[in-house]
Amino acid sequence: MSTYKSLADNDLFSLMQDGDRYAFEEIYERFNGLLYIYACKLVSDREDARDIVQEVFVYLWSNPNIKIKSQLSAYLYTAVRYKIFDWLDKNKSKSNYLQSLEKFVDRGDCITDNYIREKEFASLIEKEVSLLPPKMRQIFEMSRQQHLSQKEIAQLLHLSDKTVKKQMSNALKVLRLKLTSFLILAVVFFIS
Question: At 65, phi and psi to the nearest 5?
Answer: -95, 15
pLDDT at 102: 62
Query: What's the topology of domain 2-96?
Result: Rna Polymerase Sigma Factor; Chain: A (1.10.1740)
Kindly indicate the confidence band of residue 192, based on its pLDDT and cuts at 50, 70 and 90.
very low
- Per-residue pLDDT, averaged over 125-144, amounts to 85
The CATH code belonging to domain 100-191 is 1.10.10.10
168: confidence class by pLDDT, cuts 50, 70, 90: confident
Q: What's the average model confidence in pLDDT over 92-97?
A: 59
Domain ranges of the chain: 2-96, 100-191
pLDDT of 93 above 70: no
**Rounded mean pLDDT of 10-18?**
90
Instruction: Specify the pLDDT at position 171.
Output: 85
pLDDT of 59 above 60: yes
Type of residue found at 160: S
Its pTM stands at: 0.49
Neighbours of 140 (CB within 10 A): 20
Statement: residue 1 has pLDDT above 80: no
**Band of residue 178 on the pLDDT scale cut at 50, 70, 90:** confident
Closest by Cα among 137, 161, 163 to 150: 161
| Amino acid type, 177 | L
pLDDT surpasses 60 at 108: no
More confidently predicted of 16 and 186: 16
